Amino acid sequence: MVRRGSTKEKILLLLVGGITLGLSRSPRGYFKILRTMHKAWKEIDRRNLTSSIKALYRSKLIQQNNNKDGTTTFTLSSEGKRVALTYNLDNMTVEKHRWDNKWRIVIFDIPEKKKKMRETFRFQLKRLGFLKLQHSVFVLPFECRNELEYIIEFYNIRRFVRFIEAGYIDNELDLKHRFKLV
């Protein structure tokens, strides 16, 4: 999997948003997409924008087209469309498969001054199916490394998050019941 940072992810999602606008028939949906795209565009760090576009171009996730009027148009390549749609944060799920007897544990220590980010990360973990063990410790019995990596990169919180795969937890029986593994 190609590593992508927060800026690159937002660029890909903005390009997908452009495609979605063309397919939207509802005015309400159209304006919701525009608001989301506008917010994401404002959050992009301008000095990283050029280097991110170059990196996306090198990774073949976007294509560059030079227009006759001197402007340049960037579009998603077929691989870029697949990646952007596969890792859509709002629709991301963890595939539930036969349990391999490993617990995936996420521990995070996001500073108090980033309280909103901390709550957003908690929400994303719960949405993926993680259960809270403690205030900043969550557990899941299914493989979720790619999804977790995506969320960590998207929110740029790598230095605050630790991921552990464990073979034993002392309250394992309770967790097995809660995840319906027994």
Tokens of 3: 């590593």
Q: Which residue has the tokens 């301008």?
A: 46
pLDDT band with cut points at 50, 70 and 90 for residue 69 = confident
Q: Where are the beta strands (DSSP E) in the chain?
A: 62-66, 72-76, 103-108, 131-134, 137-140, 161-166
User: Angle, nearest 10°, between helix axes 145-155 and 115-128?
Assistant: 160
CA distances from 37 to 40, 110, 162 (A): 5, 26, 30
Cα distance between residue 95 and residue 130, in whole Å: 12
Between residues 30 and 165, the one the model is more confident about: 165
pLDDT at 4 over 50: no
CA distances from 182 to 57, 67, 102, 173, 175 (A): 48, 60, 15, 9, 10
pLDDT of res. 133: 96
**What is this structure's pTM?**
0.57
Cα distance between residue 88 and residue 12, in whole Å: 10
Whether residue 52 contacts residue 7, with contact meaning beta carbons closer than 8 Å, is answered with: yes
Nearest Cα to 136, choosing from 103, 105, 108, 171? 108
> In the predicted model, what is the mean pLDDT of the chain?
80
Report the 10 Å Cβ neighbour count for 70: 6
- Which tens digit of pLDDT belongs to each residue from 19-43? 666 656 666 666 776 677 667 666 6
Q: Which residue has the tokens 């940072």?
A: 5
- Which tens digit of pLDDT belongs to each residue from 50-67? 676 676 666 677 777 788
94-98, 141-145, 176-180: the lowest-pLDDT one = 94-98
pLDDT band with cut points at 50, 70 and 90 for residue 92 = confident
Average pLDDT over residues 119-129: 94
Q: What is the dihedral of CA 166, 174, 123, 45, to 10 degrees?
A: -10
Question: In the chain, what are the domain boundaries?
Answer: 6-86, 103-178
pLDDT of res. 3: 46
Q: Would you state the CATH architecture of domain 103-178?
A: 2-Layer Sandwich (3.30)
pLDDT of res. 169: 94
Topology of domain 6-86, CATH = Arc Repressor Mutant, subunit A (1.10.10)
